[in-house]
Structure 1
């Protein structure tokens, strides 16, 4: 256990209000946050199409860009409007972001994943135009699944996700056996963590260190990515949001004492 008996937990959210909120949450749970952003958001300036029957959002960031809130970061200044399209959100955080900006939310799959949305729409998507507005690292499952269901699918990349040059302090802590927990929110955060460890020549040591920590992930795809890379996953919360993830990991660390 880290100093003052507070669990030291790594968090990899983008270096904006999300990392600040994550640190505040972990500290409120009694943890010591290791803020090590593994993703930065690079808007493309693109906007979702307006001629689709269905429009799919997969993240809060995509909603912010569509709403014209990130013009200063390179995003579009004009607010996108859905018209008559059926607006779909993967995950309640994405749905909440839409509602907070006065967009309606017509569909949220019971399973908060690309596969869940495919299952939600496959019986009605035949012949429909589906616009998928997301990052450049979106799962192919969504596109191919809807195409197999007979939809005409178009993807608009609203932003690119890159790894900050200075990311990787958490990998060094893991390699030294000084991490008690880690919170991976996507497959890309797993891959970027391991890439940062690779650059430092400590990949094997970092994975070994994570085996002695409590590793939490959001969603089965992230769990699969971690497992395929040799990272043992301890916690996958039923609710796919960051707060549930943080609470579950801190509880698991406390229970392991």
Structure 2
């Protein structure tokens, strides 16, 4: 029997890529985008000693805005690094741990007294900015885009509530929060959580796992590599 696995990537090439990955793994994909991008029109400042980009979307918006970096360019993970290289930017630093904590650890010794630009979405973790401030950096944050829940999101919540979902791949804390909000709007929040807890739930990293578990969602797998492909493979393998 083909297992239905939900994912929540934006309705663009990322959802199409995820659909292909799921089918190659032998699962039935259920694409239920929980994030839509609203650009702010801002670009990263260009006078920082370190500029941190945290997502492929942020890199693309910075490039579209004609951003020219000064100092070192820092990526939070492999997909961001690949996007930077594709756009013609250098990747001077890539932390071993693809998280805000990992970035702080990577930069702590280098940033005292330095200007650090953090360019990301409006839902960025304060762990990064607070940690860099505590390390002695002069931190400036530019919000490149807002992440909103698309109208009509929540098909996966209904499927989970009905007991017909076998797996779910959460790629950020915000996808968890939007899934639960969509379930609540449909009047099936508790049933959707119960359905997830009968399925195999994957989280892309520890912050996402913590968000899910704080809401009563049991997380079964967290891949060693913070990529959708690794997450999907881990969920399907557990199935």
State the match for 2:67 in structure 1: 80
- Once the two structures are TM-superposed, the CA of residue 24 in structure 1 deviates from its matched residue by 1.1
Measured in 1, the distance between the counterparts of 2:155 and 2:78 equals 31
Q: Does 1:114 align with 2:100?
A: yes
State the match for 2:25 in structure 1: 29
Matched residue of 1:131: which SS?
strand
Q: Does 1:124 align with 2:120?
A: no
- Once the two structures are TM-superposed, the CA of residue 243 in structure 1 deviates from its matched residue by 0.3
2:42 aligned to 34, 41, 46, which one?
A: 46
State the match for 1:224 in structure 2: 210
Measured in 1, the distance between the counterparts of 2:76 and 2:168 equals 24
- Once the two structures are TM-superposed, the CA of residue 25 in structure 1 deviates from its matched residue by 1.0
Within 5 Å, give how 1:92-241 maps onto structure 2.
92-241=78-227
Segments of 5+ residues of structure 2 without an aligned counterpart are none
Aligned residues: 239
Q: Does 1:11 align with 2:7?
A: yes
Measured in 1, the distance between the counterparts of 2:48 and 2:99 equals 21
State the match for 1:71 in structure 2: none
Matched residue of 2:237: which SS?
helix
Measured in 2, the distance between the counterparts of 1:218 and 1:198 equals 23
State the match for 2:77 in structure 1: 91
- Once the two structures are TM-superposed, the CA of residue 209 in structure 1 deviates from its matched residue by 0.4
Measured in 1, the distance between the counterparts of 2:226 and 2:16 equals 20
Normalising by structure 1, what TM-score?
0.92
1:59 aligned to 55, 61, 77, which one?
A: 55
- Once the two structures are TM-superposed, the CA of residue 28 in structure 1 deviates from its matched residue by 1.1
Segments of 5+ residues of structure 1 without an aligned counterpart are 69-75
Normalising by structure 2, what TM-score?
0.99
Divergent runs of 4+, >6 A:
none
Matched residue of 1:160: which SS?
strand
Matched residue of 2:52: which SS?
strand
1:20-68 Cα shifts (integer Å, max 9, x gaps): 1111110111111111000000000000000100000000000011110
Measured in 1, the distance between the counterparts of 2:2 and 2:109 equals 50
Matched residue of 1:67: which SS?
helix
